Chains A and B, each alone.
Chain A
Amino acid sequence: MTRARIILIAVGVLGLGVGALTMVNDVEFSQIIGVGIWIVGAIVIHDAILSPILLGIDVLMRRSGRRVSLGVIVIIQVGIVVGAIMSLLVVPEIYATTLGTQNETVLPLDYGLHLALYWLATAALTAAACLVYLRIMRRRLRA
C-alpha cells in the first residue's frame, strides 16, 4: 500500500504542477487572481451559505420527526433535493436567456415553464411515494 500511496501522491503532485504551469503559461496574471477569487468564493458559497441552509432544513424537518414518520420525511427530503439540484442548474440558464444569446439556437427552450412543470411532477411523485410508503407500513403493522 505504501507504494500505491507514493505513486498516487506523486501523480497528484505532477498533476498540480502541470496545472499550475499551464495556468502560468496560458493565463494572464490578473486572470489567475480571478481564478483564485472564484475558487475561494466557491468554497465560501458552498461551506458557509448553501450547506448551513441545507443543514437548517434538515434539522427543522427532523424536529417534525416526532409527529411524522421518518420514511415520509426522508421521501419529502429526496423530493426537495431532486428539485433543488435541477433548479441549481436551470435558474442560471433562465437568467442567461434574459441577457440575450448569440443566436436563436442557443437556449431555445422555455426553461422557466419546464422547471415549473418539473417541480410539479416532482411534488406529485413525492406525494405518491409517501402514500405508497404509508400504505405498505400500515399493511405491515396489520400483518
Chain B
Amino acid sequence: MRFPTFPSQLYQFTQGLHITAGIACFPLILGKLYTVYPQLFQTPPIRGFGHMLARASIALFVGSSLVQLAIGLLNTYQWYPFPFNFKQVHYALAFVIIGSLAIHIGVKLPLIQRYWRRNSEATVELLGRDSNDLLDPVPESGSSPAPEVVGGFTGRLFRWIDGTPQAERGVSRRGFFAAIGVSTVAVVTFTAGQSFAVFKPFNLFAPRAKDIGPQGLPINRTAEAAQVTETAVSADWVLSVIAGGATTTFTRAELLRLPQTAVSLPIACVEGWSQLADWKGVRMRDLLAAAGAPSDQRLMVQSLEKEGGYRTTEMGAEYVGDDLTLVALELNGSTLDIQHGYPARIIAPGRPGVLQTKWLSSLEVSA
C-alpha cells in the first residue's frame, strides 16, 4: 500500500482531527442520550422479537460508543485501567459503532423522514398546532395527540420538566442547545492546542502541550525506556546501510560530512499531539546514493532499541524517495537530543510519529 507523502502535515491534521473530534463527541453523545432518556423506560420493555433486536442493537451502539470514547480519552493520558489491549479493541469497536449506527439510522429512517421538516404533516401533528417553534413545552392541560410521545412516569416527568414553570416559547430547547453547544466549543477550545497551533494559547486541559520537552518538543518513548542510553552515545556507533548483500557504514562524523538538507516537518502522534520542528541531516536519497544503494525500494529500518513493537519497521518506497525524508542529525538548530533519537533518526513527511524511528542502527534495502 502506498501512502501520500504530500501534504507533509497530512498525518498531523488527520490525527489532530481524530482526537479533537473524539473529545467533541463527549458533550454531543451525552446530549443525544439525554434527549432519548425517557425511551429507556418505555413500557412494555419488549414488544416482540423485532423490538428486542432493535433495543439490543441500541444497547450495543450506546455501550460501545461510550467505551470507545472513554478508552480513547484514557489512551491520550497513557492510562490503561481496562483489561484489554487498547489498539486492537479501539480499532474493532470502530467497525461495531459504524455498523450499529447504520442499523440504527436504517431502523429509524421512516421516523426521521416523518419529522425531518418543520412543516411536515407529522411535525405539525406532533405540535398539535401550526407552530414556529419545534419542541415547545407541551401544555399541562389537554394531552398532546403526538403519536411518538413517550408515556409512563418518565415521559410525564420530562414533560413536566419542560413545562414547569410555563415557559416562554422554546426556552427549554434553547437551553439544551446552548448547554451542548457551549460544552462542545469549550472542550475543543481548551484541548485542541496540543494538535493545532491556533488553539495553543487556550491549551488548559490537553494531555500534551506544544513546546514542552527536550529541545522544545514532546516525546513518547524515552531513551531510558528503549534502553539505549549507552549504545546511543557509544564511540563505535555507526549507521549501516545494507543493499544487495553489501554493507556500508557511516559514523556520525561521516554523515555530517555528506550534503546536509534542512526541512520543516511535524512530529505527529496517533494520540493527537503534534509539533512542527526544524530538522537537518542527510536526505535519505543522498545517503543511499552515497552507499551505492537504490532509492526506489522499500527499506527495513532498525533502531538500537532493545525491545518494542517498533524496533524494526518498514519504510515504503514513497517515503524513501521523497525529497523531505531525512536521516536527521540536528533538531531546531542544535544536535539531536538523545530523547529525540541521537545519534540519528528518521524524519519523513506525513508519517505516524511511532514510525519516525529514533536511535537508528541500520537501513536495509528490501529486494
Contact = CB atoms under 8 A, between A and B. Distances in A.
B110 A1 contact: yes
Contacts of B105: 8
A86 B88 contact: no
26 contacts: A8-B103, A9-B106, A12-B100, A12-B104, A13-B103, A15-B95, A22-B91, A22-B95, A31-B83, A34-B83, A51-B33, A70-B167, A77-B179, A81-B183, A86-B187, A88-B26, A93-B205, A96-B77, A102-B78, A103-B220, A105-B208, A106-B220, A107-B78, A109-B206, A115-B205, A118-B204
A46 B62 contact: yes
Given A5-B109, A17-B99, A70-B167, A85 B27 contact: yes
Contacts of A18: 95, 99
Interface stretch (B168-176, B229-237, B347-355): B168-176
- Closest 8 pairs (CB-CB, A-B): A15-B99, A12-B103, A8-B106, A19-B95, A74-B175, A12-B102, A34-B83, A19-B96
Interface string A43-84: 101110001001100110011011000110011011001100
B179 A8 contact: no
A107 to B, nearest CB: 5
Interface of A: 1, 4-9, 11-20, 22-23, 26-28, 30-32, 34-35, 37-40, 42-43, 45-47, 51, 54-55, 58-59, 62-63, 65-66, 70-71, 74-75, 77-78, 81-82, 85-86, 88-90, 92-93, 95-96, 99, 101-109, 111, 114-115, 117-118
> Which of A11, A51, A78 gathers the greatest number of chain B CB atoms within 10 Å?
A78
A117 B203 CA distance: 13
Nearest to A26: B88
Nearest to A8: B106
Contact of B225 (A11, A20, A35, A102): A102
Interface in B187-201: 187, 190-191
B112 to A, nearest CB: 10
B140 to A, nearest CB: 13
A42 B67 contact: yes
B92 A109 contact: no
Interface string B71-107: 1011001110011110011011111111111111111
A70 B174 CA distance: 12
Contacts of A93: 77, 205, 207
Contacts of A111: 204-205
B183 A15 contact: no
B92 A26 contact: yes
A93 to B, nearest CB: 5
Interface stretch (B211-219, B238-246, B250-258, B281-289): B211-219
